[in-house]
Amino acid sequence: MSVKRATPHARANKALALKSTLAAWIACTWMLPLAAQTPPTSWERYTIFVRDTRAGYIRVETTADRTIIHSEEKVNGRGPSLREMIRTDHNGLPMEWTIAGNTAFGGKVDDRFAIADGTATWSEPSGEGRTRLTEPSLYVAGTSSDWAYGLYARALLKDPDRELPALPGGTLRLGKVADLDFAGPAGARSTHATAYAVSGITQHPAYVILDDTGAMVARVTATAVTVREGLEAEAPRLFRLVETWSGERLANINKEVAHNYGRPVRIRNVRLFDPRSGKLTPARSVLVRHRTIAAVDRPDRAGAPGEVVIEGGGGTLVPGMYEMHTHVNAATALIQLMAGITTMRDMAGNNASVVDLARRIESGDLGGPRVIRNGMIEGKSPFNNAGGILVVKI
């Protein structure tokens, strides 16, 4: 029997292989604790719709307490493009937030917020500021992507009374609106979610939808929807929902504060502007019947039986103003009325929604100015409007 001996070259190759295996094992052994400590990266992706048009996206990358957000939106050939970095504490409150990019009309964005040694500082379009914090506070960015609304909602959910002081000022509050289910793509499990209203940022609530893990499913307004990738088919339903939520809220406000007398109204002891003299008149009383100024009388004129008398207290009575170019929805209609506008011309609202809104205002269900429906008729171009009736050549 013969014995086959390994050559020196073979022995060297075997030794090298053993060393490589040992080195790889040592490297893996050392890397195991490091890998266990490295936080996983999570991704979120969203699609932005402006009415029926797919207008942009949001991409979110989160590792531990640091989140990087890329967002872009283009409507009528213009729109914001932003890159954000957010670092939060264990309660989800921003400790650092930087935002760079451009606004819808091309203005430069370079916003910064930070908390260090108990002092918050910020620099944004409204100005710069700093304050010493005496309690946990939630910074509201001057310019940000819609993803920020999910951050606000999650932070408020962690607070026992769902209310937090806001920076640079004010208070944010969170209220539940509705439970929702999303079917998702074919074969995917349905997603249960909850719609919330975040109050305190603008004159009306911001609606945001979170799933059961707290991740944002959608942010919805009357004109735009930001929805999780894969749920784009839900955008029309979300537009209908926000119209319902906003309409119910505004109808309730109207029931509480509107006065529908159903009788002539006399406003007494007021002064009027005389355009011929350019001066204010002495005190007068003004009779309004239905929608018409029926008479301007001396201030002590006694009202006829059945008139409603309102004391003007010597103030100045001015006619309602006209808003000649607006894109109206139910929420902005009420704000227009509060500002003294009694007639408005809609130039590019959603045609079907504007018709319904005008009907509800005329019926007294909602508060708002009279609506002149100019509508939106557009041609096809890279800059055409995202809504309205599209006119094309045949």
DSSP string, 259-316: ----S-EEEEEEB-EETTTTEE-S-EEEEEETTEEEEEE-TTPPPPTT-EEEE-TT-B
The residue assigned the tokens 């991704």 is 43
Residue 28, pLDDT score? 46
Q: Exposure pattern of 11-48 as b/e (b: 16+ CB <10 Å)?
A: eeeeeeeeeeeeeeeeeeeeeeeeeeeeeeeeebebbb
| pLDDT for residue 325 is more than 70 | yes
Residue where a domain stops, chosen among 231, 249, 268: 231
Question: pLDDT tens digit string along 106-127?
Answer: 899 999 999 999 999 999 988 8
Contacts of 374 (CB under 8 A, 6+ apart): 345, 346, 347
Domains in the chain, number: 2
The last residue of one of the domains, among 205, 231, 257, is 231
- Residue 156 pLDDT greater than 90, yes or no: yes
Q: How confident is the model at residue 77 (pLDDT cuts 50, 70, 90)?
A: confident
Check whether residue 203 and residue 59 sit in a common domain: yes
**Average pLDDT of 179-190?**
79
Q: What is the pLDDT of residues 250-273, one digit of tens each?
A: 999 999 998 888 899 999 999 999
State pLDDT tens for residues 3-26: 444 455 555 555 555 555 544 444
* pLDDT for residue 394: 53
- Residue at 22 is within a domain: no
User: Is 307 a domain residue?
Assistant: no
- CA distance linking residue 29 with residue 26, whole number of Å: 5
Residue 188 sits in the same domain as residue 327: no
Question: When comparing pLDDT for 7 and 308, which is higher?
Answer: 308
pLDDT of residue 108: 94
- Of 2-11, 130-139, 339-348, 374-383, the one with minimum mean pLDDT is 2-11
Peptide bond before residue 94 is cis, with ω within 30 degrees of 0:
no
Residue 280 lies in a domain: no
Tell me how crowded residue 180 is: count the other CB atoms within 10 A of its CB.
Answer: 18
Most confident of 69-78, 190-199, 379-388: 190-199
pLDDT of residue 233 exceeding 80, the answer is yes
161 part of a folded domain: yes
Say whether both 327 and 215 belong to one domain: no
* Same domain flag for 225 and 327: no
Q: What is the DSSP string of 118-163?
A: TEEEEEETTEEEEEE-SS--EE--SS--THHHHHHHHHHHHSTTSE
227 and 324 in a common domain = no
Higher pLDDT, 274 or 45: 45
For residue 233, the one-letter residue type is: A
Determine the Cα–Cα distance for residues 247 and 19; give it in Å rounded to an integer.
Answer: 74
| pLDDT reading at 138 higher than 70 | yes
What is d(CA 120, CA 229) in angstroms, rounded to the nearest whole number?
35
Q: Is residue 336 scored above 50 in pLDDT?
A: yes
Residue 327 within a domain: yes
Give a yes or no: residue 248 inside a domain.
no
Q: Is 145 found in the same domain as 45?
A: yes
Q: Are residues 99 and 216 in the same domain?
A: yes
Q: What is the rounded distance in angstroms from the CA atom of residue 230 to the CA atom of residue 320?
A: 47
Domain annotation covers residue 174 = yes
Residue 34 has pLDDT above 50, yes or no: no
Q: Is pLDDT of 227 > 60? A: yes
Looking at the DSSP bridge assignments, the partners of residue 11 are none
No. of helices (H) and no. of strands (E), the chain: 5, 26
| Portion of the chain with pLDDT greater than 90, in percent | 59
Residue 297 CB neighbours (<10 A) = 15
CA–CA dist 122, 120 (Å, integer): 7
Expressed as residue numbers, the domain containing 381 is: 320-394
Provide mean pLDDT across the span 144-169. Answer: 96
Look at residue 127 and tell me if it is in a domain. Answer: yes
Domain CATH code at residue 349: 3.30.110.90
* pLDDT computed for residue 29 by the predictor: 44
* Predicted confidence (pLDDT) per residue in 22-32, tens digit: 444 444 444 44
Regarding whether 167 and 66 lie in a shared domain, the answer is yes
pTM: 0.79
Helix (H, G, I), strand (E, B) or coil at 349: coil
Confidence at residue 1, expressed as pLDDT on a 0 to 100 scale = 41
Q: Which residues contact 155 (CB under 8 A, 6 or more apart)?
A: 91, 92, 93, 138, 164
- Of the chain, the end-to-end C-alpha distance in Å amounts to 94
As beta bridge partners, residue 62 has: 42, 67
Backbone φ and ψ for 253, nearest 5 degrees, come out as -60, -45
> Which one, of 80, 53, 47, 49, lies nearest residue 384 by Cα?
53
Residue 75 to residue 95: CA distance in whole angstroms: 32
Give the C-alpha distances (Å, rounded to integers) separating 287 from 259, 291, 298. Answer: 16, 11, 11
Query: What confidence score (pLDDT) does residue 125 get?
Result: 85
Q: Which of 189, 213, 231 is at the close of a domain?
A: 231
Mean pLDDT for the chain? 86
